[in-house]
Amino acid sequence: MARVVNLSAGILLSGFFGSRAHVARLWTRVGLRDTLHRAGLRDTADGTCHPAAR
């Protein structure tokens, strides 16, 4: 998975597009990934929330 490192403050605008069913599936998947992440069960190292120790 590619990651982006911001060297200064920035703003990201993003969204889903397509049929309502497609958007609902994407929204559900993102919500599940976020829930698992917050529970410490997924993507817990070297990310925006958990930068690698330097």
CA dist., res. 38 & res. 36, Å (int): 6
R_g over Cα of the chain? 14
CA angle 17, 20, 23 (to 5 degrees): 50
Q: What is the pLDDT of residues 3-54, one digit of tens each?
A: 777 788 888 787 778 999 998 998 899 899 889 888 888 877 766 676 665 4
Q: How far is CA 53 from the centre of its chain?
A: 20
